[in-house]
Amino acid sequence: MSDPLERPRVESSLDDVEFLARSEHRVAVLDSLVERPRSRAALRASTGASASTIGRMLAEFEERCWVERVEHRYEATPLGAFVAEGMVTLLDRMETERGLREVWKWLPTEVLDLDIDLFVDAVVRVPAFGAPHRTVDRFVELVEGTKQFRGFTTTTVGTDVEALLRNATDGMETEIVWPPDLTSTVLESHPDLLSAAVESGTLTVLTSRELPCACGLFDDRIGLAGYDRETGVMRATVDTDAAPARRWAEALYGSYRHDARPVDLGAIVG
C-alpha cells in the first residue's frame, strides 16, 4: 500500500511536466539557456514568442529555480539543466515512438525480440493517402543504392522483386531466403528477369519455412518490412544505419540463413 504522504510530491512533479509540455517554447527555451546565457531579445528572436510570453516564462522558470538572471542575460541553473536534459530525452523518446508506432503493429515483435533503441534514428515508411507505394518505393531506393544485398522475406510484390532481380543482373551480389513456394511464384511472374539474374551468377536463393517478416542488409543500412498476412501487402518499413542495429540484423539473418536450404536455380530456370 502506498504512502498517501507521497502523493502531493508525485502530483507536483506531473504538474511541472505538464507546465513544460503545454507550450511549444518552454523546453526549447530552457534547453537553449543550458547551452549558454541569453538575453530576452535573443530568446524572442529564436522562438518568435512575444516579449510578454518570454517574460512570463522566465519568471516561472526563476520561481522554480531553473534559471537565474546575470546582469541582462539569463542562464540555466544546475536544476534547470537537469530538468532540460530529462525533458529533451523524453521528447526524443516520444518522437521515436510515434515514428515506430505504425511499424510495430505489422512486425512479429515477440519473435524478433526488438530493442527499440536500435531504431531511434530510423527512416520509417507507411502507405499514405496519395502515396500508397511508399514502402515498396523505399525498398527499391535502398536496393538501387547498394552493391550487395542479403535478406529474407515471406512474400514479394512485382515492384520489389523486379528491382531485386534487375540489380542482381547488373552485378549486385544477392543472397535471398524465400519460403519454399516463392521461387516458383517468381519464376511464373518474372521468368525473364529471374533467368537473367541466374545467368549473371550473382543471385543465390535459399528456402526456409519459418520466416517471420522481411529483413534486408544493404551496404550501409539494414531494414525490416512488415506485411499484411492476409493480403501480402507491404504495410510498413523501417531502416537505419546504426551500427548496433546492423549487428542485430546480421545475427538475425544468420540464424535463418543457417538452416535454409539452397535452391538449384539452374535446374529451375532450365
- Domain residue limits, the chain: 4-88, 105-269
Task: Please state which CATH number belongs to domain 4-88.
Answer: 1.10.10.10
Strands (E), the chain: 38-39, 67-70, 73-76, 123-125, 148-152, 173-178, 203-207, 214-217, 222-227, 234-240, 261-262
DSSP classification of residue 4: G
What backbone torsions phi and psi does residue 25 show, to the nearest 5 degrees? Answer: -95, -25
pTM: 0.77
**Which pLDDT does position 96 carry in this prediction?**
83
Q: pLDDT tens for residues 42-65? A: 999 998 889 999 999 999 999 999
Homologous superfamily of the 105-269 domain (CATH): Endonuclease Chain A (3.30.870.10)
Q: In this structure, what C-alpha cell is assigned to residue 147?
A: 552493391
Would the CATH topology of 4-88 be identical to that of 105-269? no
pLDDT in tens, 151-203: 999 887 778 899 999 999 999 999 999 998 888 888 888 899 999 999 999 99
- State how far Cα 33 lies from the chain centre: 30
**Predicted local confidence at residue 3, as pLDDT:** 56
Cβ contact 136:126 at 8 Å: no
Q: What is the pLDDT of residue 11?
A: 56
pLDDT at 4: 52
Greatest pairwise CA separation for the chain in angstroms: 84
DSSP result, 113-182: T--GGGGTT-EEE--BTTBTTHHHHHHHHHHHT-SEEEEE-S---HHHHHHHHHHHHTT-EEEEEE-TTH
Q: Is 214 in contact with 224 (CB distance < 8 Å)? A: yes
Contacts of 231 (CB under 8 A, 6+ apart): none
What's the pLDDT score for residue 8? Answer: 52
Quickly count: other Cβ atoms within 10 Å of residue 220's Cβ: 10
Exposed, middle or buried, 167 (CB in 10 Å: 0-12/13-18/19+)? Answer: buried
Q: Which residue ranges of the chain lie beneath pLDDT 50? A: 1
